[in-house]
Amino acid sequence: MSEKQRTIAQSVSFSGKGLHTGKITNTTVFPAEPNTGIRFKRIDLDNTPIIPANPEYVVDTSRGTVIGISKEIFVSTIEHLMASLHALHVNNALIEVDGPEVPILNGSAKPFFDELEKVGTIEQDADLEYLEITEKVVYTEPERNVEIIAYPCDTFRADVHISYDSFMLRNQYASIKDLKDFGTEIACCKTFCFFREIEMMLAANLIKGGDLDNAIVFVDRKVSSEEIARMSKLFPGKEINIEKEGVLNNTELSFENEPARHKLLDLIGDLWLVGKPIKGHIIATIPGHKANTKFAKILRKTIK
């Protein structure tokens, strides 16, 4: 008997600020008909435009995955919700958003995953088709040593290797052999950045909604008292504490390799843009949203 497509059993809603816009938005995931895929609907705009979640609609990847159909009609930071839908094998869903960005919540996929898992999924009267990797597929960005490769495999599995110009994150690895482990091994891993990047990102009109509750901030150099005072103004109500090089305010990591696991989370989310579950072994070196979504586009072109 062939496998069937799935959607969620009932609607589920989320509310919170966007990581980059800082604006409070409400997002509701609804069940959807078979063969409609994952779609986002901007209910705050005239004519409530719908944006299909596939690589052809990716318009920006600078600090998250953004899909859109014009400069005014877009939805950003979709990757954590998409990863949760992927892990729960949700093929069809309509996601209504009343603003330009999906809420960041606690900076991980766990709030999305837990609520979606709670409502459950239902089987639909439509056959499920896989994208089966039959030969090696490669995407590279040689100037940044980025490489994503897909190999034939009977199931979906993924390995990630990250390396940054920092002694703190020189080499980290993460892997998943079965998406059933996503909820316990990957979902809780938060987004992260370096302390030295914060002012630069703010100057670029990003992370307006970032705080120490929804991101891990790594401090990999000595910081002056003047800089601490200046940065404290960016996090009202939070006392900035840097005792030594490490994690800002000595935040406890869920896993020693949490950054690598978060990059794996992002990869899982971005690959759900393909529109079909993948049977293949994905090996990603220094992945990011740009590479992930371009690779998803390559894979999508192989669908006949």
In the three-class reduction of DSSP (H, G, I as helix; E, B as strand; rest coil), residue 187 is classed as: coil
Q: For position 165, what pLDDT does the model report?
A: 82
Q: What is the pLDDT of residue 197?
A: 77
pLDDT digits (tens, 9 = 90+) for 50-91: 999 999 999 999 889 999 999 999 999 999 999 999 999 999
Burial annotation 109-125 (CB, 10 A radius, 16+ → b, else e): bbbbbeebbeeebeebe
Domains of the chain, residue spans: 4-129, 192-250
Active site residues: 289
**pTM of this prediction?**
0.92
Residue 210: CB partners within 8 Å, gap ≥ 6?
19, 20, 104, 193, 198, 201
pLDDT of 243 strictly over 60: no
What is the tens place of the pLDDT at every residue in 22-42? Answer: 889 999 999 999 999 999 999
CATH class of 4-129: alpha beta
Give me the percent of the chain exceeding a pLDDT of 90. Answer: 73
pLDDT for the residue numbered 183? 98
10 Å Cβ neighbour count for 15? 12
Residue-wise pLDDT for 113-123, tens only, equals: 999 999 999 99
